[in-house]
Structure 1
Amino acid sequence: MSLKWKWLALLAAAALALGACGQSKQTAGTEKESSNQTAVEKQEKPKKEEKTENEKEEAEVDYAGAFSEALAELEKAKQGGAVDFGKVESIYKEKLQPLVQKRDAEFEDTLDQHITNALAAGKDGSLEPLVVKQIFDKLMQKVFYTTIKHEFTEAEEHWANKEEVKEELEEAKTFYAILQSTVEKRDAAYGTKLVDAINGAFAQMEQSVQNDDALSFALGKQVVDKTLMKTFYLASGALPHGYAAKAAAAAKENAEEAKVEQAEGWAFYQSVYPYMKRHAAEEADYILKQFDLQTDVKMLDPKAVNHAFVRGWAKVALHEYEESKENWGQDKSVITALEGALFINMIEQDIKTLLGDKAYTDLNEQATRYLEAAKAKNKAEGDKWLPQIEAALQQVIQKAN
């Protein structure tokens, strides 16, 4: 077996076992192709030069420091202290807003508007400071997450220039470092190994650059991306520690605390909503409505939210397998086969709860076998396992209704 496929086998095994330690107890930014690309070369060149200058400016900003400073000020509300919203607004506008606006433009989002409005509402007293803190915190986390995706895309677009690829990968790791504490919290709550999976994927991506192996790089990218999505899902809609469950429990005793938990769930969900919306719109919009701050938190149903997530991710997995089948024999078939497996892994504990441990073990094995068939371009073997995977996912969807 070649080094590339040895790593792929290890990567698949690691990815499919992200939750293997047991869950005992969050593209958001969906990339969209621009339909307005100019065909005039002299217009493209200035854009590329400007982009390079912007990236140099970005590298000089201490995003982690600015983010921490703003959060520290907002955190004062937790101890009943007064928050200097003017200070937070200043930090945001001077250090963070340009990055947010770039991601908004790239991913057709409105995060800057949400953050700016939340800070203004905190300043005029129309929104509780702790709610503002959660919106600011989690939406900035989405910005850092989509910036990781941006850096990966840049690396792939400049694959021929390995020094630039290495720089983009280092920048992605820098932004991930800001998110790592969020991943660690989910590992602590659910007994997962998400941090290990991400660190392992980054290490293999670095090796892929050295080996000039674009497919291996793309597979590592998917592990990082989908593991972060799993993090946001566990934080928002998983049982029993997601914020849907926390908000519903708090609503019985403390309405103010419940609203903060609801806001936290809403903001975490923003990172994965666009991805689910593409292939499971009904489920995606239902979850969004449940987390909406206009929704009475006492009406929030954590089990219904969880089941909507399960149906949604199962439908997304089915789409990935459909893409894999359509692109059989190409790298994309392998990549989407891995994506399908990662979405199955995302709801591992849910499948075990709904259908039993054996059902998940069987589905996990089928996903692994199909991935092996895709990498080997063994169509007969792929055709053997794919119908079983699809039938199992349909059963998950039905059971989660």
Structure 2
Amino acid sequence: MNKKAAVLSAFLLAAGIISGCGKEEKAEKQEEKKTEQSAEETKSEVVSVEKSETAAQITAYEEMKAEMEKAKEGKEVDWEKVSGLYSSKLQEQVTEVDESGEMDQAITAAIDGAKNKELDNNVARQLVDKVTQSYFYQKQKRLHKDAATALEGKKEEEAKLAFGELKLLAEKVFIPTAVKRDEYYKLQGEASIVEGINNGLEAQEKALNDKNVDDFKVYVQLTDKSIYRSYYLASSSYAAKIAEAVKAGEAKDEILQKQAEAWGFFQAIKGSLSGGDEAAAAEINKTFTLNETKPEAIDPEKVNDLFTKAFAGKINSYLGKAPKALEEGEATEARVGALEGIVFLKAIEMELQKKLGEEQAKLLLDDSQKWFEAISSENKEEAAKLGEKLTAEVSKLSK
């Protein structure tokens, strides 16, 4: 194993190897467009993080959230204020990131429904909050790319600005959400999502300071996929919470709040999981859609199986992509793809343990780590042997 592979291998063991997501052609085009715009805006002067567009959006989100949370205490919510903040500070950017318009439509419909008293205030609150968080997840992916592009172009101040905005999003949006997942699943130490996000940011910052573009691009996966795992587990956990609430006879609006949260969180990763298994991702989305599935019809085990099937598709795609990139002389792309593949596998560790048993699940994860090391060391023969073994095992998860 070469030095770089050894260093990253040790880091991954410390970070817990988190979950993964793939690259969408549409998203890449959108990001490229944003990168060009960002370069034009900042070439004359690099603004501070505090004065950045990201900071303004977070402030608007926090103000919207504070107003909407009055509903938790049964107080009147000023939905006109929420609407004004969204339309003036976030709507344009949400639409730009999500060209399908689904996120904007969901947020706008929730606000309008609450204003017209056609939708429960707390259900509307959850939809607006969670779909906005899903938008921020897509935004952080763009900031990773902006920072890498600027670093590659030796525009260090621009790279640091983009990374600073990313850290601000992590502090204000992603980590508070990840804390709840850690608490619900009792994830500590290496398994902690919060620790994964912080470890990823630390590794990225070191690469940034060292002006090491290749390592920065690889370590993006640690941060991004930790956040990804947070939203996956958030969405998945609500399937169980909904079933429990139905069984306990909770009030309908309280149960619908949970379903709205599940759907909102899922929007962050829906596009990515569709690349693994489009039908499975569509079925999960339908399951959590308020006007398509009644809460009492939601089966947590079925939801988990659908997630596992979609993840398996993503994992197998990277088991093919990484070796191909290595054959084509794209060593960094091979490392990035290999890391994405194994963090996808780590993301569904709890499901692996249920389906395979703890010992077999550990062996599978150990083999994925060895495969990543082989790719990083450009050991094509070892990578091919391990890749074939992994593909056979992962394919069983799709059945």
TM over 0.5: yes
Match of 1:161 among 144, 155, 162: 155
Code of the residue aligned with 1:124 in structure 2: it is: N
SS of aligned partner of 1:385: helix
Q: 366-375 or 8-17: which moved more?
A: 8-17
Match of 2:40 among 41, 49, 56: 49
Matched with 2:167 is 173
Taking structure 1 as reference, are residues 34 and 95 closer, same or farther at Cα in structure 2, changes over 3 Å only? closer
Code of the residue aligned with 2:342 in structure 1: it is: A
Match of 1:125 among 117, 120, 138: 117
SS of aligned partner of 1:158: helix
Shift of 1:65: 2.9
Taking structure 1 as reference, are residues 52 and 290 closer, same or farther at Cα in structure 2, changes over 3 Å only? farther
Taking structure 1 as reference, are residues 207 and 257 closer, same or farther at Cα in structure 2, changes over 3 Å only? same
Code of the residue aligned with 1:366 in structure 2: it is: D
SS of aligned partner of 1:327: helix
Taking structure 1 as reference, are residues 381 and 148 closer, same or farther at Cα in structure 2, changes over 3 Å only? same
Shift of 1:29: 8.7
Matched with 1:316 is 314
Residue 263 in structure 1 maps to residue 260 in structure 2? yes
Matched with 1:114 is 106
Shift of 1:349: 0.7
Matched with 2:136 is 144
> What percentage of aligned pairs have identical amino acids?
29
Taking structure 1 as reference, are residues 51 and 113 closer, same or farther at Cα in structure 2, changes over 3 Å only? farther
Matched with 1:326 is 324
Shift of 1:261: 0.7
Distance 1:47 1:181 in 2: 28
SS of aligned partner of 2:231: helix
Deviation by residue 1:234-263 (Cα, 9 ceiling, x = unmatched): 1111xxxx1111112222312221111111
Taking structure 1 as reference, are residues 61 and 127 closer, same or farther at Cα in structure 2, changes over 3 Å only? same
Taking structure 1 as reference, are residues 29 and 53 closer, same or farther at Cα in structure 2, changes over 3 Å only? farther
Deviation by residue 1:170-190 (Cα, 9 ceiling, x = unmatched): 111111112210011111111
- 1:355 touches 1:396 (CA, 8 Å); kept in 2? no
Distance 1:18 1:172 in 2: 18
Report 1:128-277 matches (<5 A): 128-159=120-151, 160-177=154-171, 178-192=173-187, 193-237=192-236, 242-252=237-247, 253-254=249-250, 255-277=252-274
Residue 11 in structure 1 maps to residue 22 in structure 2? no
Matched with 1:22 is none
How many residue pairs get matched? Answer: 380
Match of 2:301 among 293, 297, 303: 303
Residue 385 in structure 1 maps to residue 386 in structure 2? yes
Deviation by residue 1:122-180 (Cα, 9 ceiling, x = unmatched): 10011111111111111111121111111111112222212211111111111111221
Distance 2:18 2:146 in 1: 27
Taking structure 1 as reference, are residues 186 and 110 closer, same or farther at Cα in structure 2, changes over 3 Å only? same
Shift of 1:3: 6.1
- 1:16 touches 1:364 (CA, 8 Å); kept in 2? no
Shift of 1:50: 5.2
Taking structure 1 as reference, are residues 46 and 29 closer, same or farther at Cα in structure 2, changes over 3 Å only? closer
- 1:187 touches 1:195 (CA, 8 Å); kept in 2? yes
Distance 2:395 2:3 in 1: 36
Q: 300-309 or 62-71: which moved more?
A: 62-71
Q: 269-278 or 379-388: which moved more?
A: 379-388
Matched with 2:71 is 77
Shift of 1:118: 1.0
- 2:22 touches 2:272 (CA, 8 Å); kept in 1? yes
Shift of 1:97: 2.5
Shift of 1:395: 2.2
Give 5+ residue unaligned stretches, structure 2. none
Shift of 1:49: 2.9
Report 1:333-348 matches (<5 A): 333-348=334-349
SS of aligned partner of 1:279: coil
Shift of 1:291: 0.5
Code of the residue aligned with 1:201 in structure 2: it is: G
Report 1:15-94 matches (<5 A): 15-17=15-17, 30=24, 32=26, 33-34=28-29, 49=40, 58-59=52-53, 61-94=55-88
Code of the residue aligned with 1:191 in structure 2: it is: K
- 1:61 touches 1:95 (CA, 8 Å); kept in 2? no
SS of aligned partner of 1:397: coil
Taking structure 1 as reference, are residues 274 and 55 closer, same or farther at Cα in structure 2, changes over 3 Å only? farther
Q: Which runs of 4+ in 1 moved over 6 A?
A: 44-47, 51-55
Shift of 1:31: 5.3
- 2:231 touches 2:266 (CA, 8 Å); kept in 1? yes
Q: 8-17 or 211-220: which moved more?
A: 8-17
